[in-house]
Copies of this chain bind each other. A is one copy, B any other.
Amino acid sequence: MRELRYREALREAMIEEMDRDDRIFLMGEEVGHYQGAYKVSEGLLAQFGEKRVIDTPIAEAGFAGVGVGAAMVGLRPIIEFMTWNFSFVAFDQIISNAAKIHQMSGGRLKVPVVFRGPNGAAKQVASQHSHSVDPFYTNIPGLYVVMPATPRDAKGLLKAAIRCEDPVVFLEGETLYNVKGDVPDADEEEVIPLGKGRIAREGSDCTIIAWGRPYYTAMAAAEQLAAEGTECEVVDPRTLRPLDTDLMIESVRKTNRCVLVHEHWPYGGPGAEIVDRIQREAFDHLDAPILRVPALDVPMPYATNLEELVLPTTQRVVDAVKRVTYA
């Protein structure tokens, strides 16, 4: 084990996979000469050259489509969106093409493409640049949706995403890029299977389910609650589509209580989906309603005092756990 930043873990995953398979290339805005808007692809141009590390014009629908088309005929593109906010101009390429081609062609074509970039709010980048896109992409059959919280998961899941035969929506976090964490040594290859969640912390009193940045909020809340004698089990699904439903159900069957923490808007999305599955499959085990701690239902304001109100906080999670545990 060694400590790496989330950003470095992603970079290692791309380098290792690109070394292994020269059908893999990275394409996006500023990924090459500029070394990546958030420096995730730093050094890749020097290592792999302009053929495999391709700077594009600002044309997300165009280069997302180029990725899908290239994947149809045998390449394995990694398409970087500078941020997922900019995937909205390419939305049709992902939902109408990437997600449909395998089935529409009667299974004759497949689309092994990875779309990746930072998802969710950064810091004061305001309403057009602060979207959590997980509710949109998780609704769509044909796509995988992955959202790693730790450097280890970022590396292991990105490697799995690149090897996946289907289109993968890979959601990183601008505020996570600098996070440090343990990652297996370079010689111990770890490919974390898509669709498998992780128990990040064991506990018997309440299950807290969180992914992406809120995973850290959940862990902090669990610490605080433990000090007060409430033991929370923290579950990170890691992959949002397909969801590791069994893992979450099992935990709730044990704790009989559940709180979700997520940065996407309240209406629908993985947050509501997970609630639905739990109430359906663990109905008789629930001692309290399932509560969610989402972002507030507003476009993200610029002012920092308001942005802090909008995003989930440790305190809001603690309060929610107290409500469901009637503490």
Given contacts A104-B299, A139-B135, A264-B139, contact A280 B291 (CB under 8 A): yes
Chain B neighbourhood of A288, CB < 8 A:
283
Known: A283-B288, A283-B289. 4 other contacts (CB 8 A): A135-B136, A138-B267, A139-B264, A139-B267
Nearest 3 Cβ contacts at the A-B interface = A272-B272, A88-B92, A283-B289
A33-74 contact mask (Cβ, 8 Å, vs B): 1 or 0: 000000000000000000000000000010000000000000
Name 9 interchain pairs, CB-CB below 8 A, sorted by A.
A96-B128, A104-B126, A104-B128, A138-B267, A141-B265, A141-B297, A275-B275, A276-B276, A276-B290
Given contacts A89-B92, A91-B91, A131-B95, contact A138 B268 (CB under 8 A): yes
Let me know if A327 is at the binding interface, CB within 8 A: no
A79 to B272, CA, bound (A): 31
Of B89, B128, B269, B279, which one neighbours A290 at CB under 8 angstroms? B279
Docked-complex contact A103 and B298, CB < 8 angstroms: yes
Docked-complex contact A268 and B265, CB < 8 angstroms: no
Docked-complex contact A127 and B140, CB < 8 angstroms: no
- Which A272-324 residues have a C-beta within 8 angstroms of B? 272-273, 275-276, 279-281, 283, 286, 288-292, 297-299, 301
Give the nearest-CB partner of A241 in chain B: B267
Of B100, B139, B264, B297, which one neighbours A265 at CB under 8 angstroms? B139
Docked-complex contact A279 and B273, CB < 8 angstroms: no
A135 to B264, CA, bound (A): 13
Of B138, B139, B292, B298, which one neighbours A141 at CB under 8 angstroms? B298
A298 to B92, CA, bound (A): 17
Let me know if A142 is at the binding interface, CB within 8 A: yes
Let me know if A218 is at the binding interface, CB within 8 A: no
Docked-complex contact B273 and A267, CB < 8 angstroms: yes
Let me know if A217 is at the binding interface, CB within 8 A: no
- A-side interface residues, number (CB < 8 Å): 49
Chain B neighbourhood of A89, CB < 8 A:
61, 91-92
- Which A67-101 residues have a C-beta within 8 angstroms of B? 85, 88-89, 91-92, 95-96, 99-100
A140 to B292, CA, bound (A): 17
Give the nearest-CB partner of A86 in chain B: B92
> Closest approach, in angstroms, between the C-beta of A62 and any C-beta of chain B?
12
Chain B neighbourhood of A140, CB < 8 A:
265, 267
> Closest approach, in angstroms, between the C-beta of A113 and any C-beta of chain B?
16
Given contacts A135-B135, A276-B272, contact A301 B267 (CB under 8 A): no
Of B141, B272, B301, which one neighbours A275 at CB under 8 angstroms? B272
Chain B neighbourhood of A292, CB < 8 A:
276
> Closest approach, in angstroms, between the C-beta of A256 and any C-beta of chain B?
13
A237-278 contact mask (Cβ, 8 Å, vs B): 1 or 0: 000010000000000000000000000110111111101100
Give the nearest-CB partner of A260 in chain B: B276
Q: Tell me which of A89, A92, A142, A268 has the highest count of chain B C-beta atoms within 10 A of its own C-beta.
A: A268
Chain B neighbourhood of A270, CB < 8 A:
267-268
Give the nearest-CB partner of A277 in chain B: B272
